[in-house]
Amino acid sequence: MMNLYPTKKFRFPITAECISPDVFQDKKIEEIRRLTVWEGNKQRILGELFKVKESESETKMVVINIHGDVSRVRRIGAYMTSGQIVIYGNAGMHLGEEMEGGEIIVRGNVGCWAGSMMKGGKIEIYGNAGNYLGAPYRGVNKGMRGGEIVVHGNVGNEAGAYMRRGVIKVYGNAGQFAGLRMQNGTIYVQKDCEARVGACMKDGKIIVSGFLESVLPTFTIEGLKEKVKIENDETAEGPFYLFLGDTAEDGKGKLYVSKTKNPHLNRYEKLL
């Protein structure tokens, strides 16, 4: 088990995609200290920015623990395929970008683009996540393609944009455009959600259990549902309004919105 302790409060953006179990695997601690990272425009070695300590561990899995604030450190766990990263603090942008397997746990908040274009594995965030959770890079039309992201706090805008598969669960609130242009997969928001949820979605499932600011005019009411399955053994209790959309893209995505939390939507009932 490797433990990383930031040696200072970082001022400049740190780019450190070497902080990944795949990279640490089979490396001696000395080699790990010598891995390349960038601090602003200066190339550094990991050992300059972090105290690296090894500790006993029971599993054979590569585990990296980061102790402290790494909110300026970007690309932690990018491309990882196995192992585990646990961050005791806040983490920076692009956490677990394009990850394919393994697990990242953050006991704090994370920046934007966490789990961007992820293909597999799991990210669990105990604090809040920024914008573009699981969403792709600029111009890319493939978002999350597998795996699971769980956020216990709130998320910013465009969570799950361009999602093709996988699950995102948000136990707090979500910003605008959750599930933008999604094609498949599931997004669950336990609390409140800002407007434009499911914009341009073609398919897939979005469940809002809290208050939803507004439903886009391009969604049509389809019915009422008592409960909805989130994944395997988890269901959300309703009743829910079921909307289909986005008709602006001839989409047939399913948007479930809590009936009890959203009295302003009861005007749709007359259409049922």
Partner 1 sequence: MRTVKHVTCPVCGCLCDDLELTIKDEKVVKVKNGCALCKAKFLGYSKHRVLKPLVRKNGRFFEVSYEEAVSRAAEILTEANYPLLYGWSMTSCEAVSAGIELAEEIGGVIDTTSTLCHGPSTLGIQDVGISSATLGQVRHRADLIVYWGSNPLIAHPRHMERYTIFRKGRFQKEKRKLIVVDVRKTETAETADIFLQIKPNMDYEVLQALRALIRDQELDVDEVAGIPTERLEEIADTMVECRFGALFFGSGLTMTRGKNRNIDAVLSLVSDLNKLTKFIAMPMRGHFNVTGADMILTWQTGYPYAVDFSLGYPRYNPGETSAVDILLREESDAALVVASDPVASLPRKAAEHLAENPLIVVDPHMSATARMADVVLPSTFVGIESGGTAYRMDHVPLPLKKIVEPPEGILSDEEILRIILSEVKRKKAEQMENP
Partner 2 sequence: MKMELIIRNGFVFDPINGVKGEKMDIAVRDGKIVERVNERKALEIDASGMLVMPGGVDIHCHIAGSEVNAGRLLRPEDHFKYSERKTATTRSGSGHSVPSTFTTGYRYSRMGYTTIMNPAMPPLMAKHTHKELNDTPMVDKGSFPLLGDWWFVLEHLSNGRIEECARYVAWLMTSTKGYAVKIVNPGGVEAWGFGHNVHSLDEQVPNFNITPREIIRGLCKVNKLLNLPHTIHVHTNNLGKPGNYTTTLETMKCVEDLAADDKPVIHITHCQFSAFKGSDWKTLRSGAEEIARYVNNHSHVTLDMGQVVFTDTTTMTADAPFQYTLHELTGSKWTNQDVETETSVGIVPFRYRRKSYVHAMQWSIGLELALLIKDPWKIFLTTDHPNAGPFTAYPRIISWLMSRRAREATMKKINRRAQSKSLLPSITRELDFYEIAVMTRAGQAKALGLKDKGHLGVGADADIAVYKINPEELDPSRDYKIVRKAFRRAAYTVKGGEIVARNGEILKHVKGATLWLKVKTSQQTKVNEDLKRRFRDYWTVEYENYPVSENSLDISHPINVEAKI
Q: Give the interface size with partner 2 as a residue count (CB under 8 A).
A: 5
Minimum CB distance to partner 2, residue 36 (Å): 13
By CB under 8 A, tell whether 9 contacts partner 2: no
What is the rounded CA–CA span in Å between residue 156 and residue 130?
5
What is the rounded CA–CA span in Å between residue 151 and residue 105?
10
Minimum CB distance to partner 2, residue 16 (Å): 18
Rounded alpha-carbon distances, angstroms, from residue 38 to 12, 64, 196, 210: 9, 19, 38, 42
Regarding beta strands 186-189 and 205-208, do their DSSP bridges make them parallel or antiparallel, or are they unpaired? parallel
Position among 126, 137, 171, 211 found at the interface with partner 2 (CB under 8 A): 137
- Mark the segment that binds partner 2 (CB under 8 A) among 132-140, 156-164, 237-245, 263-271: 132-140
Position among 12, 36, 53, 140 found at the interface with partner 2 (CB under 8 A): 140
Q: Which is nearer to partner 1, 82 or 218 (CB)?
A: 218
Rounded alpha-carbon distances, angstroms, from residue 205 to 122, 169, 184, 225: 19, 12, 7, 13
What is the rounded CA–CA span in Å between residue 176 and residue 198?
9
Q: Which is nearer to partner 1, 41 or 232 (CB)?
A: 41
By CB under 8 A, tell whether 250 contacts partner 2: no
Residue 98 interacting partner from partner 1, partner 2, none (CB closer than 5 to 8 Å by kind): none
- Mark the segment that binds partner 1 (CB under 8 A) among 20-28, 227-235, 243-251, 255-263: 243-251
Q: Which of residues 3-62 bind partner 1 (CB under 8 A)?
A: 11-13, 15, 38-42
Q: Which is nearer to partner 2, 169 or 181 (CB)?
A: 181
Q: Euclidean distance between the first and final Cα of the chain, in Å?
A: 58
Position among 4, 18, 46, 112 found at the interface with partner 1 (CB under 8 A): 112
- Mark the segment that binds partner 2 (CB under 8 A) among 131-139, 168-176, 213-221, 257-265: 131-139
Residues 6+ apart with CB under 8 A from 176: 157, 158, 194, 195, 196, 197
- Per-residue DSSP letters for 119-170? -SSEEEESS-B-SSTTPPPTT-----EEEEEEESS-B-TTTTTT--EEEEEE
Q: Which is nearer to partner 1, 102 or 160 (CB)?
A: 160
Residue whose token pair is 């949820």: 197
Minimum CB distance to partner 1, residue 172 (Å): 21
Minimum CB distance to partner 1, residue 216 (Å): 6
